[in-house]
Amino acid sequence: MKGRFLLDYLDENNFKKLERSLKKYNMMAYKKLMFDFYPSLRKGDFLGELVSINKHEQTENYELQLPTDNLFVKVYGKVKLSYTVYKDQNVVMLTGLEPKDILMDGHKSELTAYKGIMISKANAQKEMFKIDLLSRLEDK
């Protein structure tokens, strides 16, 4: 069932904060999200991995992995968009962006970068150690 779908938010304020942080710290993922993935979702082309289906409510839950740097993925995990499709109402409900912790830290305060990867103020030493360790492992 393809058609025009409306993009809506489960928690618009927090989702917009995550989007702005993604724009600031991971422009490649943000551009792909804004200019490729959102237009596809509006057209009814549901991208990503189908996580679950609820036949009673006629909903489908998806997770879409956004492109990002390999080192960022190893330190914080994959950047993923979670969304729910309400087919009977032609609505795509945007439910979340992961990794939420580092993106929310980026929204609250200016993050510093270490070897091209953003690091939070709360776990700076741990994250710098991870980045150094992963860099050394890649060199071998």
Residues 36, 43 contacting (CB under 8 angstroms)? no
Cβ neighbours of residue 54 under 8 Å, at least 6 residues apart? 60, 61
- pLDDT band, residue 139 (cuts 50/70/90): confident
Residue 16 pLDDT = 92
Residue 122 falls inside a structural domain: no
Q: pLDDT tens for residues 26-70?
A: 888 999 999 999 999 999 999 999 999 999 989 999 999 999 888
Amino acid at 76: Y
Residue 119 falls inside a structural domain: no
Residue 59 falls inside a structural domain: yes
Residue 2 pLDDT = 56
CATH number for 66: 3.30.2310
Residue 12 falls inside a structural domain: yes
At 86 the three-state DSSP class reads: strand
Residue 137 falls inside a structural domain: no
Residues 58, 86 contacting (CB under 8 angstroms)? yes
What is the percent of the chain where pLDDT is above 90? 46
Query: pTM of the prediction?
Result: 0.79
- Count of structural domains, the chain: 1
Domain of 85? Answer: 6-109
Residue 49 pLDDT = 95
- pLDDT tops 60 at residue 1: no
